[in-house]
Amino acid sequence: MLASQILTCIGLCFLIAPGQTLAQTSVTLYGTVDSGFAYQSHSANESGTYGSASRFAMISGGQSGNRFGLKGKEQVTVDTEINFMLESGFDIGNGTQSQSGRIFGRQSWLGLRHKGLGNIRIGRQYDFANDYISELTPFGPGDFSSASLGLSFGSANAERFSNMIRLETDSLDGFKAGIGYSFSTQIPSAYILNGSTPAVAGESRDYNFSPQDNLRSLTAGLQYRTGSLYTTATYDAYYPNAATAKGNVPNASAWILGAAYDVGMFKLSGAYGQTRNAWLNPAQLLQTFRQPSDLGNTNSSIVFDSNIAVDSYLLGLTFEPSEVTNVFLSWQIAKPTGSMQSTSFFPIDTQTVYSIAYTYNFTSRTNIYAMGAYSTNYSMSQGLTYALIGFGLRHKF
């Protein structure tokens, strides 16, 4: 089914209407620089794996991740263009790369777009949960640090798939849909095989010869927009590396339903999702399971375990009192369900996150921001509280 859909869309994209070939080419350098300061603290948890601690430090990318990139396109006919994007993330405090040493770790893809049909892209890209759910809330993919949506909806927080072919339609009567398949997703991964000791696959950047020995992923999304209403549904599936999983780990999945209603000064949004057989950690490490300490969270990561079952909820409000100021509020929870409670290595409980942020725009490209977040049972670790207060300056170019 998936293969036939991909072949059909590829065929449509290459049905270029006869006409004069155009030689209109453009390349744009763009980026975001964001820096500030934050106070962070966490309590001791009930299992004793954490003691209380706090710090005041410089932060990189408090509102938006620091990046620079090149994007371009060439018009090959009136209705068809070739396009690309190469995007790199970095830490503004020390100048290091943010995505595990990748030169263009945020995005690197080459595509073909046909006006009226849609586009096809090949390379390292975001999943549809990242793109479609981000419209619901300002605390979207990777935004506002530990106030981010990714604390509770892992698949919707800057999840990037390497080696992916992705197809997306143009909007038709308010509807837009897409599907993508990653032949080798290449994100850090661990597999809980016997209930006590995880087998680590690492990042596995190499393309294994046997297709089943790669971590593979499927992503799909549907959205509908009419007037002030926006609705969306996304689905992601993860297929374990067979050599590491040894047949003991089932496929994992994450789906999300969300909606937003925008009446100008106010925008109200909500979402519900379920994640099964794995937990995705782009915003944090899941310390309630024995995830290896060297399994970094700078490039997303995933823990496979058939006992993992998390239900996620979100309510968000955007208030725009003037043309240059915005106030953002959100409440989100991640609730462990099923056998996850009884099989966890440490006591776990429902994570709740309260978030608030304020921005003031000096220009269309430059703004200051302040943010705050408070979480109970942070990372679903029972008794662990986390607090964040930060402020900073962001400039886009």
Half-sphere exposure of 263 (CA within 13 A, CB side): 5
Structure-derived torsion over alpha carbons of residues 109, 114, 115, 121, reported in degrees to the nearest 10: -20
Return the pLDDT at 282. 44
Q: Indicate the residue type of 138.
A: P
- Hey, how many other C-beta atoms are within 10 angstroms of the C-beta on 311? 17
Query: What does the angle CA 385 – CA 386 – CA 390 come to, to the nearest 5 degrees?
Result: 160
Contact in structure between 168 and 118 (CB atoms under 8 Å): yes
| Domain ranges, ordered by start, for the chain | 2-14+21-396
Q: How far apart are CA 198 and CA 201, in angstroms?
A: 10
The CA–CA distances, whole Å, from 271 to 44, 148, 266, 334, 382 equal: 31, 14, 17, 12, 24
Return the pLDDT at 47. 67
Nearest to 184 by CA among 127, 252, 241: 241
Q: How far apart are CA 348 and CA 159, in angstroms?
A: 25
Q: 283 — alpha (psi -120 to 50), left (phi > 0) or beta?
A: alpha
The CA–CA distances, whole Å, from 244 to 294, 301, 338, 362 equal: 17, 16, 25, 52
The CA–CA distances, whole Å, from 320 to 134, 227, 327 equal: 18, 18, 6
Please classify residue 364 by burial: count the beta carbons closer than 10 Å to its beta carbon, then call 0-12 exposed, 13-18 middle and 19+ buried.
exposed
Return the pLDDT at 147. 75
Residue 319 in tokens: 């208030």
Contact in structure between 339 and 312 (CB atoms under 8 Å): no
Return the pLDDT at 39. 93
Nearest to 114 by CA among 215, 17, 251: 17
* DSSP code per residue over 263-298: -SSEEEEEEEEEEEEEEE-SSS--TTTT--TTS-SS
DSSP assignment letter at 143: T
Q: How far apart are CA 144 and CA 359, in angstroms?
A: 11
Return the pLDDT at 21. 46
Return the pLDDT at 203. 56
Residues 6+ apart with CB under 8 A from 333: 152, 312, 313, 350, 351, 352, 353
Return the pLDDT at 63. 92
Q: How far apart are CA 32 and CA 52, in angstroms?
A: 34
Q: How far apart are CA 378 and CA 288, in angstroms?
A: 10
Q: What Rg, from alpha-carbon coordinates, does the chain have?
A: 21
pTM over 0.85: yes
Q: In 3-state terms, the chain is what percent helix, strand and coil (to 5)?
A: 10, 50, 35
Instruction: Give the domain 2-14+21-396 fold.
Output: Porin (2.40.160)
Low-confidence ranges of the chain (pLDDT < 50): 1-21, 282-298
Return the pLDDT at 23. 59
Return the pLDDT at 197. 58
Q: Model confidence over 204-220: pLDDT tens digits?
A: 567 889 999 999 999 99
Q: How far apart are CA 157 and CA 210, in angstroms?
A: 29
